[in-house]
Structure 1
Amino acid sequence: MIKLAKGRVSLWAILAAVGFMIVQVISSLYLPNLTADIVNNGVVTGDIDYIWKTGYKMIAFAILSVVASVANVYVASKVSQKLGQRIRSDVYRKVINYSHDEMDQIGASSLITRTTNDVTQIQNVWVMILRMMIMAPIMLVGAAFLAYQKSPALTNIFLIVLPIMAVFMGVVMYFAVPLFRAMQKKTDNINLVFREGLTGVRVIRAFRQDQFEQDRFDGVNKDYTNNAVKVFSIMALMFPVMTLIMSGTNIGITWWGGHLIAQQSLETGNMIAFLTYAMQILMSFMMLSMIFVFIPRAQASAVRINEVLAQTTTLQSPATPKEMATDKPQLRFDHVKFRYAGAEEPALTDIDFDMHAGQTLAIIGGTGAGKSTLVNLMPRFYDVEEGAVEVDGQNVKDLDLQELHRQIAFVPQKANLFTGTVRDNMKYGNEDATDDEIWHALEVAQAKDFISENPEGLDYHVEQGGGNFSGGQRQRLAIARALVKDASVYVFDDSFSALDFKTDAELRQALKEDAKISSRIVVIVGQRVSTVADADTILVLEDGKMVGRGTHAELKATNDTYQEIIKSQIREGDEA
């Protein structure tokens, strides 16, 4: 937790919090002494002037204590909130640069929990540190010293009370701390199931698995609830027991103090002050105990966040990146072999081809053949095991990642749109794009009609995930977003799958006729032969291997796998 605070918490703010707390504690400790003076020197002697004079002092110290307390709370809150803000920013900045492998290792649901719930735990404990952890030891030592000054004999009662409290708090910590730690992982499970249920709600309804998913969520929810009930029941037990101990201490002090007063070895005002100091000692001890209960939970959260921040990002820009020859678009796979982390067999083996400006590459094959894997290597979402992927004449490992991504316009299988307007989404491709450029990209992507029909035009609101558009409309908008970008390579990863044959054909024809796109390299992953038939080069993949390369006519005449794909689609009504 200290590691997380380094560089994220201002030392001056901590010193200010400590300073305000010291003022508050000193003021609080001085008040019982003034009370004793009023009783001993004012009430007993009937000196009204002394009572008023001392009373004004008490008011002044009480106001000083309140002001210092408010200032400490403000500084502590500001420090903790700033810390949370910086941790969340750092985690997001780190995660946004993760490779696909690293994202899969931790999981989206766990990352959400770590960025929200875990950070909140750390924030809460930092408030406790800057409040209780500073106040408790100072007040404990100060109150013990002042209590001893008032009555050395009465302080012996703490030799009985404090060990009892220590044993009780030790038992509470023994049972509560493991349960607090377990709550974080159980929160992960709730987020995982809940997120899957929300994103897959249509599938759940289609297969009538509503009850199954409800039971599944109830399972993790009850698991979390049972854990929380146990831990908070234990914590709830603490307060009545501590109240009982403190009440018993009060009775003991009053009984023993009464005997000492009767023997004239203790003044009445000193006993009243001693009672106050006793409560301050016990409350300080309780606060310290509470801190030691909650710190392990926050420490567990800190470990989880540090795991994210310490995760080595395998895909990094080289120290001295090479420059791309952007005036000569080129894409080359040089005998590439790739294997997913932990996989026994490679996903791609010996992929070798070379494409130049003005050419279209199409990739076709069965499910699991490695089509998407192949195109994911182009923007270096993964690193190859053997061989090399080259863009514009340079190995992608030798290029600055941002520059590489700038030169590749990528449309993934799933069309992701972001909350905002159509214009906002289009500017993801090029933040400097003009409205004319956006309309042109929409026209090429066959999306202009349904956007222009809306009175808001480019200001048409896009809901989360593009939920207010159909699947085909989302795909066309995602394609338009890529076309707005001025890139060397345009990659369409099965991004025509939701389009009808007519729209598919019109879109591909528009791509060919567009001056900018036709002078670059276009890569199309397709399932339909009609989508890839007019490409300059078609790669046929099977089980991660390149089993065919050529034009539609060449492959139709000589390649068995390609012929089988054609036959399967003819039977379904497609034309080759």
Structure 2
Amino acid sequence: MIKLAKKRVSGWAVFFAVMFMVGQVFTSLYLPNLTSDLVNYGVAKGDTNYIWSAGMKMLAVSVLSVIFSFGNVYLAAKTSQGLGRNLRKDIYHKVLYMSNDEFDQVGTSSLITRTTNDVVQIQNVAMMALRMMIMAPIMLVGASFMAYQKDAQLTSIFVVVIPIMIVFVGIVMYFAVPLFKAMQTKTDRLNLVFREGLTGVRVIRAFVRDKFEQNRFDDANLDYTRNARKVFSIMAVMMPVMTLIMSGTNVAIIWNGGQLIANQSMAVGNMIAFMTYAMQILMSFMMLSMVFVVVPRGQASADRIAQVLKLQSTIKPAEQPKEFSETTPSSLDFDDVLFRYQGAENPALTGVDAHVKQGQTLAIIGGTGSGKSTLINLIPRFYDVESGSVRINGLNVKDVDAQTLQEQIAMVPQKALLFKGSLRDNLRYGNPDATDDQLWHALEIAQSTDFIKDDDGLDTFVEQGGDNFSGGQKQRLAIARALVKKASVYVFDDSFSALDFKTDANLRKALLEDETVQKAVVVIVGQRVSTVADADQIIVLDEGKMVGIGTHPELKANNETYREIVESQIKQGGEMNE
């Protein structure tokens, strides 16, 4: 936890927070001493002047204590909140540059929990560290010394009281700390189930699985609730027991102190001060017990955050990055590519070899799970090949800086995703300097002008995830966004699946006729033969192996796997819009 905080908080803020806290503790310890003198030398002797003098001193010390307390609370809050802000920023930055392997290791729901709940736990510990962790030990030592100064005989009471408190706090910690640690894992599970329920609500309703999902959520919720109920029930015992111990201590002090006063061995003011110091000692133990309970939970959160920040990317940066030349024609090459997912025994892709030149279209077709999306994820280097190479414009993707590489690629993912805001902002996502004319041109190629003109044009508001558009409309808008970006390689990952055959054909025709696209390489992943039939080269994948490459007529004549795909899409009397 200290390592996480070390570079993310201001050293000066921590220093002055500590100084303010030390000042607050010393003023708090000095006040009972002034009260003792006021009673002993003012009230007992009827000295009004001394009472006024001591009272003014007490007022001045109290004002100082308030100032010190305010300074400490302000700096502690500023430091802890700043630590939380920096942690969230660092986690988000790390996530943005994670490879797909790291995402698979942690999981989206867990990342959300770590960025929110775990960061809050660390903020709480940081706040407590600059308040209770500093106050409690100083107050404990200082109050013990001042109590001993007032009466050495009465301090023997603490020989009995303190061991009782230590044993009690130890028992509470033994049962509570493991439960606090378990709460983070159970929060992960609860978030996972809740997130799946929200994102999959349409599927749940379509299959009438609402009762099943409700029971699944109830199980996760009940598990979390039971754990929380146990730990907070244990913690609830602490306050009444500590209050009982404090009350018993006061009774013991008054009983023994009364006898000392009766024997004139102790002044009344000293006993009043001693009782205050006794409360400060016991309160210090209570604060320490809270620290001992909260810190392990914060440490568990810190370990989970550190795990994310320490993740080593499988994508190693180029030692001497090369730059793309503007004069080099666009090209895409797969040289005997072999790829294996991390920890997998068998390769996901083997023997992929293809070479595409400027102005050509490469199509990839195959059955579900054949490795189509995996192959195109190698182009922007979301994964690294195990052997062979992927080259863009003649340069190995491993020899190019990641940002420089991805600037050369415009990609439409399998799931069309739009961001909340205006349509103009969405289309400019890959090219912030694009003009409105360029945006309309991209929309025209993507066959989207009809439904956009009917709305508010480029000022059309886009809901989160593009939920105010249909599936086909979202796909076309995602395609338009990619076309606005000037790239060497345009990748369409099954981006025509929600389009009807006529729109699909018109869109592909407009793509081929566009001057900008003609200077690039187009990669299309498709399920339908009609989508890939016009491509210059078609890669046929089967269970991760490239079993064929060629044009539509060549593959139809010579490749059994491709022929099976074609035959499976035959309608009554002919092929599907080949």
Q: TM-score, normalised by structure 1?
A: 0.99
* 1:324 CA displacement: 1.9
* 1:344 CA displacement: 2.0
Structure 2 equivalent of residue 350 of structure 1:
351
2: CA distance, partners of 1:441 / 1:316: 35
2: CA distance, partners of 1:76 / 1:444: 57
Q: CA RMSD of the aligned region, Å?
A: 1.0
CA offsets per residue over residues 116-139 of structure 1, 9 Å max, x none?
000000000111000011111111
Structure 2 equivalent of residue 574 of structure 1:
576
Q: Which moved more, 1:546-555 or 1:172-181?
A: 546-555
What is the 5 A alignment of 1:186-205? 186-205=186-205
Structure 2 equivalent of residue 211 of structure 1:
211
Structure 2 equivalent of residue 378 of structure 1:
379
* 1:64 CA displacement: 1.1
2: CA distance, partners of 1:6 / 1:142: 29
SS of corresponding position for 1:361: strand
2: CA distance, partners of 1:202 / 1:454: 26
Q: Which moved more, 1:555-564 or 1:535-544?
A: 555-564
1: CA distance, partners of 2:359 / 2:317: 28
Structure 1 equivalent of residue 424 of structure 2:
423
SS of corresponding position for 2:314: coil
CA offsets per residue over residues 263-289 of structure 1, 9 Å max, x none?
111000000000000000110111111
What is the 5 A alignment of 1:202-241? 202-241=202-241
Q: Contact 1:24–1:69 (CA<8 Å) still a contact in 2?
A: yes
CA offsets per residue over residues 322-368 of structure 1, 9 Å max, x none?
12234311100000011112222211111001011010111111111
* 1:233 CA displacement: 0.5
What is the identity, as a one-letter code, of the residue corresponding to 1:415?
A: A
Structure 1 residue 252 and structure 2 residue 275: aligned? no
Structure 1 equivalent of residue 102 of structure 2:
102
SS of corresponding position for 2:549: strand
What is the 5 A alignment of 1:543-562? 543-562=543-562
Structure 1 equivalent of residue 293 of structure 2:
293
Structure 1 residue 57 and structure 2 residue 67: aligned? no
State the 4+ residue runs in structure 1 displaced beyond 4 angstroms.
none
What is the 5 A alignment of 1:126-205? 126-205=126-205
What is the 5 A alignment of 1:177-576? 177-327=177-327, 328-455=329-456, 457-571=457-571, 574-576=576-578
2: CA distance, partners of 1:91 / 1:512: 42
What is the identity, as a one-letter code, of the residue corresponding to 2:577?
A: E
Identity rate of aligned residues, in percent? 68
Q: Contact 1:380–1:396 (CA<8 Å) still a contact in 2?
A: yes
Structure 2 equivalent of residue 27 of structure 1:
27
What is the identity, as a one-letter code, of the residue corresponding to 1:363?
A: I
2: CA distance, partners of 1:295 / 1:116: 17
CA offsets per residue over residues 167-199 of structure 1, 9 Å max, x none?
000000000000000000000000000011111
SS of corresponding position for 2:523: strand
1: CA distance, partners of 2:358 / 2:76: 60
1: CA distance, partners of 2:527 / 2:326: 31
* 1:78 CA displacement: 0.3
SS of corresponding position for 1:63: helix
Q: Which moved more, 1:391-400 or 1:239-248?
A: 391-400
CA offsets per residue over residues 301-326 of structure 1, 9 Å max, x none?
00000000001011132131012234
2: CA distance, partners of 1:77 / 1:3: 19
What is the identity, as a one-letter code, of the residue corresponding to 1:250?
A: N
CA offsets per residue over residues 420-439 of structure 1, 9 Å max, x none?
11111111111111111111
SS of corresponding position for 1:312: coil
CA offsets per residue over residues 140-189 of structure 1, 9 Å max, x none?
11111111110000011000000000000000000000000000000000
* 1:114 CA displacement: 0.4
Q: Which moved more, 1:565-574 or 1:341-350?
A: 565-574
SS of corresponding position for 1:570: coil
What is the identity, as a one-letter code, of the residue corresponding to 2:279?
A: M
SS of corresponding position for 2:131: helix
Q: How many residues align?
A: 575
* 1:68 CA displacement: 1.0
1: CA distance, partners of 2:129 / 2:6: 15
2: CA distance, partners of 1:504 / 1:189: 41
1: CA distance, partners of 2:450 / 2:404: 33
* 1:481 CA displacement: 0.7
2: CA distance, partners of 1:146 / 1:370: 75
What is the identity, as a one-letter code, of the residue corresponding to 1:418?
A: F
Q: Contact 1:416–1:466 (CA<8 Å) still a contact in 2?
A: yes
Q: Contact 2:101–2:314 (CA<8 Å) still a contact in 1?
A: no
Q: Contact 2:373–2:525 (CA<8 Å) still a contact in 1?
A: yes
What is the identity, as a one-letter code, of the residue corresponding to 2:458?
A: L
SS of corresponding position for 2:354: strand
Q: TM-score, normalised by structure 2?
A: 0.98
CA offsets per residue over residues 493-545 of structure 1, 9 Å max, x none?
10000000011011001101110001210011111111111111111111111
What is the 5 A alignment of 1:112-127? 112-127=112-127
1: CA distance, partners of 2:147 / 2:322: 73
1: CA distance, partners of 2:372 / 2:36: 85
2: CA distance, partners of 1:484 / 1:298: 46
SS of corresponding position for 1:574: coil
* 1:571 CA displacement: 2.9
In structure 1, list runs of 5 or more residues that go unmatched: none
Q: Contact 1:429–1:483 (CA<8 Å) still a contact in 2?
A: no
SS of corresponding position for 2:247: helix
Q: Which moved more, 1:504-513 or 1:555-564?
A: 555-564
Q: Which moved more, 1:278-287 or 1:550-559?
A: 550-559
Q: Contact 1:377–1:384 (CA<8 Å) still a contact in 2?
A: yes
